[in-house]
Amino acid sequence: MSDRKQTESFARMVDVADKPETDRMARARGEVRVTTRVLEAIREGKVPKGDVLATARLAGIGGAKLTSTLLPLCHPVRISWVEVTAETSPPDRILIEATVRGKDRTGFEMEAFTAVATAALSVVDMVKALDPSSSLLSVRLVEKRGGKSGHWVRDAGS
């Protein structure tokens, strides 16, 4: 088998045509580490590009909606609700959480991940002139519901 044929055999979407549509939800969390000076500027509304947390929330919602465009083997899903929260956590963190819900044949985990990552990247973009060392930390799925696997919640310690 040529390398091309072998690669093609693994590059396909999962067939979900026969799966039932169920109510589904996924929640992800992540963090952005910044300097204490930058965190203070965010809290005081003194970042030159504007409101960092509001922009991050909007970016996260937009990211969730674009997930299947960004990830080539990810199914487009019918999102019915997205919520993204972004808040400061002294001394040096921005905490981000995204919840995505809808009814479809496949889950919303990738949409929740993408929402968190996009929101976090938006924070980094907005503060990079003040803090080129800011970084994304610990983007992880914390809960999912629906489908064959039912309800899953990450253990508190992991």
Q: 83-93: per-residue pLDDT in tens?
A: 999 999 999 99
Distances (CA, A) of 34 to 22, 52, 95: 39, 12, 11
Q: What are phi and psi of 19, to 5 degrees?
A: -80, 145
**Mean pLDDT (whole number) for 100-116:** 96
Among 54, 55, 52, 29, residue whose Cα is nearest residue 113: 29
Residues 6+ apart with CB under 8 A from 71: 110, 114
Question: Lowest-confidence range among 2-11, 88-97, 129-138?
Answer: 2-11
Q: Does domain 21-145 have CATH number 3.40.50.10490?
A: no
Please give the helix or strand (H or E) that residue 43 lies within, else none.
Answer: helix 36-43
Q: Is the pLDDT of residue 44 over 90?
A: yes
Distinct helix (H) and strand (E) counts, the chain:
5, 5
pLDDT mean over 103-116: 95
Window from 35-39, 55-59, 107-111, 144-148 with minimum mean pLDDT? 144-148
Catalytic residues, by residue number, are 125
